[in-house]
Structures are given as structure tokens and as C-alpha cells.
Amino acid sequence: MFERLSDLDPAVQDMLRDLMQDDYQALLQTFLQDTDRRLCQLHENLDRHNWEGFRQAAHSFKGSCSNMGALALREACERAEDAALNADPVAAAQVCALLDRLSLRIRPQLVCRY
């Protein structure tokens, strides 16, 4: 399912570039740093079986992915929220691994394209 989703919504990226202009690169760096922080939070909360912390981290990450037009990451964050609501450690571990892969896949697209 995630392989079929576009990593980035080009319309959102164009809008952000137009809106942010010279600050667009700073926005990208902030998003990438936030991505690293959220992934750490997700893994830490998974290790502790802290389902509410896991859900909150996934929810916050989903919002920043939506704002950046990171479609596949956003969809995976929804799955992470569901795993947390069900307190499902297997699903949560799988979606964490998926988020890791998707975040690595999107990085060069953001850094090289703009």
C-alpha cells in the first residue's frame, strides 16, 4: 500500500516553496530534524510499551507529514496511531520499521530536489 503512495505531494511542495521562499530550506531542515526526533520517540515508547506516548508521537508526526505533503509517511503514522490504540506491540514494531524506511526514502527527495 505504501509503495503505491507518492512520497511527496508536488502541489504542497510548490505551495510551500512559494510561501516560504528563502526560508524553504530551513523548513526542510526543521522537518528532517523533527522526523528524527519523532522516530526516536516512537521507538522509545514502543520499547516501554507506553501506548499513549506512542500514539501522541505518531499523531504529532502525522501532522508535520501532512503539512509537508509527505503522503506515505502520513499514512504510516495513521497506522502507528491505530497500533497504539490497540496496544499491539507487533503492529507497532512493524509500523516503526516502515516509518524508518519511508523516512530514509524521502530524505534524498527533499534534499536533492530543492
pLDDT in tens, 10-49: 899 999 999 999 999 999 999 999 999 999 999 999 999 9
pLDDT for 78 beyond 90 = yes
Query: Are 92 and 52 contacting, i.e. CB atoms less than 8 angstroms apart?
Result: no
C-alpha cell at 14: 510548490
pLDDT for 56 beyond 60 = yes
- pTM (predicted TM-score): 0.90
